[in-house]
Structure 1
Amino acid sequence: MEKRFIRMFSVIKKAGPYVVLLFILAWSILLGVSIGTVKVPVTDILRILFSHVTGTALSDSVDPMHETIVMAIRLPRVVLSGLVGASLAIAGAAFQGLLRNPLADPYTLGVSSGASVGAVVTVFFHLSLPVIGMYTLPVLSITASFITIFIVLFFARRVDRGMRVETIILTGVIFSSFLGALISLMIALTGDELRQIIGWLLGSVSMRGWEYVWIILPFFLFGALILLLHITELNAMSFGEEQAKHLGVNVGRKKMNVLIAGSILTGAAVAVSGTIGFVGLVIPHLIRILWGPDHRHLLPLSVLAGAGFLIIADLISRTIIAPSQLPIGVITALVGAPVFAVILMKQKLKTV
């Protein structure tokens, strides 16, 4: 009896964080769909979703306008913000585990800036690649993020053969500034595309629609799957590369796989929503504090928490000064910048 109780308690303890975060995510989705200029009752939302999932006729008690608002405007926006938040959070968790530093994330490593350059170039030159069509934007963003992370690592190695994490992050910040200057140059030269480019840079999931959900979804699934398949290697590399080698990990290949997957996730997220900073920094750090550094739980919990966080951030951005809207990147920066400062101070105290 005692062993059975201990086993049951262990299962509850492991499942608890998932239940909590799934509840928060479901609650944030319902809030995000319900709240707006026109408030849609939660009961109507559930009836509409049930009708569309099962293919049954919608109840006469539901206002047809509510159905349009839910299915054509708010639900795709909420799903898109959730996918973007999940992508940035799991990519940040993987980068932090790989580089063994809580300050590492797509934003500080310059990956987001590289992806932004790819997106802005696509918009600026009206690029559309044959065959892939609507996927031109994420493909070019991902390609630019690949190039950026490899250049950052190349220069970091030239500066410091030991490839210390501080050197990599500093190099990433420098390249982010350089890429920001390139984007500013394109903005200065642009004409009709100015509003679209500015919107991308500030970060937004407004008026994107289901098309953008289908754009990011395959890249999210592919990138997240790669990272989840490297959980054991990330756990090993969190103790240092030498220790990982002794455990039989092919460090060079696995590190490259993680960097590629993180770049795919970041590039796709930036392509559909613009540069949204600090999600990949704050969420994994919070999950690590609450539930530990084991990547078996850190990565999936970061997905759930990142999705819920960005849905709530988007809800705040469109309601806090309604009818006007704030860029979602403003909300994440207001939350993330103080957290970044606290983490930086803790890291400094550890080295003193």
Structure 2
Amino acid sequence: MSAVTALRLRRYRVPGWWWTAPAVLLVALLAGAAIGETAIAPDTILKVIANRLLGADYAVDRIEGGIIWSYRLSRAVVAACCGAGLALSGMVLQALLRNPLADPYLMGISAGASTGAVLVAVAGLGGGVISLSAGAMMGAIAAFALVVALARAAVSGAGGGAGLPAAGAIILAGIAGSSLFNALTAFIIARSASAEQARGIMFWLMGNLSGVRWGDAGLALPAALAAVAICLWNRRALDAFAFGADSAASMGINVRRVQGVLIAAVALVTAVMVSRVGAIGFVGLVVPHAMRFIVGSGHTRLVPATALAGAVFMIAADVVSRILVAGQVLPIGVITALIGAPAFALVLIRGGRV
């Protein structure tokens, strides 16, 4: 075997830690189901899972069984899917836009998805024909299109100015888009929602996993798995985009097609997650940067690492939101913002290096 062949095999060899990823995720899910105001032993959780999925007949307290299966475990699964999907969305946006500060929340995609979901849920858009997720996806796409258009106009100096640097323009456009769609969401709630509806929606918009059940997991899990599959399929294209769209085209990559597929995937997964749990910020910013520091910038390793870390991070944030204040469940968006805001400041100060 030549040295070149050996180097290639070594380069594309599956990292050993990949095989431990399912175990890490399983431990995180068990922790999410076990930790709370009432602690539950891990063996009880395993018995409940065996009873439900394998038809076993272990003796389990009925109340504990209901808490585990109907509340905590479904919540942990949705949290894992949400974390993985949002983290991958941030990773893709950072690669395509070559901007270390890009993520669905800062780019206004989450705000647009929230507006679309609220239009369907409160204003009755579509007359019951359009689902919550479909409305959220339309809002996400509209927000991203607006942000891209604003950024291009700012870079080109279409308004008569000298033009802004592309990296700064996309973030400023994202802030403008987020502000606009957040304002639209608030207007729709004030105009169409009752006081009780408004309170529930505002709590949901801060990120809320309290109401999720297995039906939500049935939608979130396929979206997260599809995001992982699409990112892995396009991992070499994502590597090429690190050098710019022109360099990617020179390597034989169909830039328009790949960009379209990846942006559609980002909009879809963000819309699904927002429609289930509300707008949760900073996951797509913090997790990809942390994983680049650990596994490097090659997307063969970065995609699965980002998905796993995002899932574990969101489960941990959910656990903290349930136990931080006794007798009260905080919006999970509060926890992710407390962690993400300092991380955002660090990335901003260090110019994208972590």
Using structure 1 for the length normalisation, give the TM-score. 0.89
Report the counterpart of residue 73 of structure 1 in structure 2: 71
Report the counterpart of residue 99 of structure 2 in structure 1: 101
Report the counterpart of residue 82 of structure 2 in structure 1: 84
Stretch moving more, 31-40 or 262-271? 31-40
Report the counterpart of residue 33 of structure 2 in structure 1: 33
Give the counterpart of 1:140 among 131, 135, 142.
135
Count of residue pairs the alignment pairs up: 340
What do the CA deviations read for 1:28-62 (whole angstroms, capped 9, x no partner)? Answer: 21111012232211111112212322222x223x2
Preserved contact between residue 85 and residue 223 of structure 2 (Cα < 8 Å):
no
Report the counterpart of residue 302 of structure 1 in structure 2: 306
Preserved contact between residue 295 and residue 305 of structure 2 (Cα < 8 Å):
no
Report the counterpart of residue 187 of structure 2 in structure 1: 185
Q: How does 1:1-352 map to 2 (within 5 A)?
A: 15-19=15-19, 21-56=21-56, 58-60=57-59, 62-127=60-125, 136-161=131-156, 164-189=166-191, 190-191=193-194, 192-347=196-351
Preserved contact between residue 157 and residue 163 of structure 1 (Cα < 8 Å):
no
Preserved contact between residue 203 and residue 274 of structure 1 (Cα < 8 Å):
yes
Preserved contact between residue 88 and residue 306 of structure 1 (Cα < 8 Å):
yes
Q: Counterparts of 2:80 and 2:247 in 1: how far apart (Å)?
A: 36
Secondary structure class of the residue paired with 1:38? coil
Stretch moving more, 176-185 or 15-24? 15-24
How far off is 1:19 after superposition? 4.8
Q: Counterparts of 1:10 and 1:348 in 2: how far apart (Å)?
A: 29
What do the CA deviations read for 1:8-36 (whole angstroms, capped 9, x no partner)? Answer: x969x953443555444222211110122
Q: Counterparts of 2:255 and 2:19 in 1: how far apart (Å)?
A: 34
Stretch moving more, 119-128 or 35-44? 119-128
What do the CA deviations read for 1:196-243 (whole angstroms, capped 9, x no partner)? Answer: 211221101112211211232333333433232211111111111111
Question: Structure 2 counterpart of 1:40, which letter?
Answer: I
Q: Counterparts of 1:153 and 1:163 in 2: how far apart (Å)?
A: 14
Runs of 5+ unmatched residues, structure 2: 157-163
Give the 3 Å change call, closer, same or farther, for CA 21–170 of structure 1 in structure 2.
farther
Q: Counterparts of 2:117 and 2:124 in 1: how far apart (Å)?
A: 10
Q: Counterparts of 2:225 and 2:14 in 1: how far apart (Å)?
A: 24
Secondary structure class of the residue paired with 1:160? helix
Question: Structure 1 counterpart of 2:32, which letter?
Answer: G
Question: Structure 1 counterpart of 2:332, which letter?
Answer: I
Q: Counterparts of 1:318 and 1:83 in 2: how far apart (Å)?
A: 18
Give the 3 Å change call, closer, same or farther, for CA 179–343 of structure 1 in structure 2.
same
Preserved contact between residue 48 and residue 65 of structure 2 (Cα < 8 Å):
yes
Stretch moving more, 216-225 or 118-127? 216-225
Stretch moving more, 189-198 or 139-148? 189-198
Give the 3 Å change call, closer, same or farther, for CA 89–244 of structure 1 in structure 2.
same
Q: Counterparts of 1:69 and 1:182 in 2: how far apart (Å)?
A: 37
Stretch moving more, 173-182 or 154-163? 154-163
Q: Counterparts of 1:173 and 1:270 in 2: how far apart (Å)?
A: 18
Give the 3 Å change call, closer, same or farther, for CA 332–324 of structure 1 in structure 2.
same
Percent of aligned positions with the same letter in both sequences? 36
Question: Structure 1 counterpart of 2:58, which letter?
Answer: S
Q: Counterparts of 1:74 and 1:349 in 2: how far apart (Å)?
A: 37
Stretch moving more, 192-201 or 314-323? 192-201
